[in-house]
């Protein structure tokens, strides 16, 4: 495939995946962040979370964070798949030994590190929007049980930068790289 076809395929795949998987991400995030705070629903498990979110908040809330998910997944998958293919092509073409078995692993790990680093801020926003968590006082008025219904992506972004600085948008990058790079390397072997 040509470069722009690789990018288009990655973008299309990420849109379909986001639309199908966002409800599962919302349930997972809410289960991980649940507490016994008043006004919050406690879930017995994934099916209970699906039911309670749909019943008490509306079915549309299962797709909460779809926009930040798309902001993160479209560039992430497009960069990852395109980088992988381009790196693999260039490494193999500059090798006099022909097809080397380790090339896909190196290309996969490198492509994943580029993709994860570029999209880390968007992943942070997505997770906080889905968990309904904000890191500064100005978003507190928008938490459940108050007058506003939700926390927006821009609110989360502004609060994270205001509270903890620009570099806070990459908080958790190292553990993510330590998880994703080996996974990607082994995936392509």
3-class DSSP string for the chain: CCHHHHHHHHHHHHHHHHHHHHHHHHHHHHHHHCCCCCCCCCCCCHHHHHHHHHHHHCHHHHHCCHHHHHHHHHHHHHHHHHHHHHHHHHHHHCCCCCCCCCHHHHHHHHHHHHHHHHHHHHHHHHHHHHHCCCCCHHHHHHCCCCCCCCCCHHHHHHHHHHHHCHHHHHCCHHHHHHHHHHHHHHHHC
CA 128 to chain CA mean position, Å: 11
Low-confidence ranges of the chain (pLDDT < 50): 141-143, 146-148
pLDDT digits (tens, 9 = 90+) for 3-57: 788 888 888 888 999 999 999 999 998 898 887 656 566 898 999 999 999 998 8
* pTM (predicted TM-score): 0.70
| Residue closest to 171 by CA, chosen among 120, 122, 111 | 120
Tokens of 50: 């699906």
Given this model, what pLDDT does residue 179 score? 96
- How many whole angstroms separate alpha carbon 144 and alpha carbon 20? 25
């Amino acid at each position: 495939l040509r470069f722009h076809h690789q990018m288009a395929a990655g973008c299309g795949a990420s849109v379909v995946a986001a639309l199908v998987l966002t409800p599962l991400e919302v349930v997972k995030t809410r289960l991980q962040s649940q507490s016994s705070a008043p006004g919050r629903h406690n879930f017995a498990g994934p099916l209970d979370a699906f039911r309670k979110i749909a019943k008490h908040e509306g079915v549309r809330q299962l797709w909460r964070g779809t926009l930040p998910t798309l902001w993160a997944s479209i560039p992430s998958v497009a960069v990852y798949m395109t980088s992988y293919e381009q790196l693999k092509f260039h490494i193999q073409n500059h090798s006099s030994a022909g097809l080397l078995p380790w090339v896909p692993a190196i290309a996969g790990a490198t492509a994943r590190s580029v993709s994860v680093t570029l999209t880390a801020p968007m992943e942070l926003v997505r997770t906080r929007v889905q968990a309904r968590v904000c890191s500064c006082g100005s978003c507190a008025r928008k938490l459940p049980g108050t007058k506003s219904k939700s926390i927006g992506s821009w609110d989360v972004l502004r609060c994270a930068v205001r509270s903890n600085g620009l570099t806070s948008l990459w908080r958790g990058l190292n553990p993510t790289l330590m998880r994703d790079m080996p996974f990607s390397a082994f995936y392509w072997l």
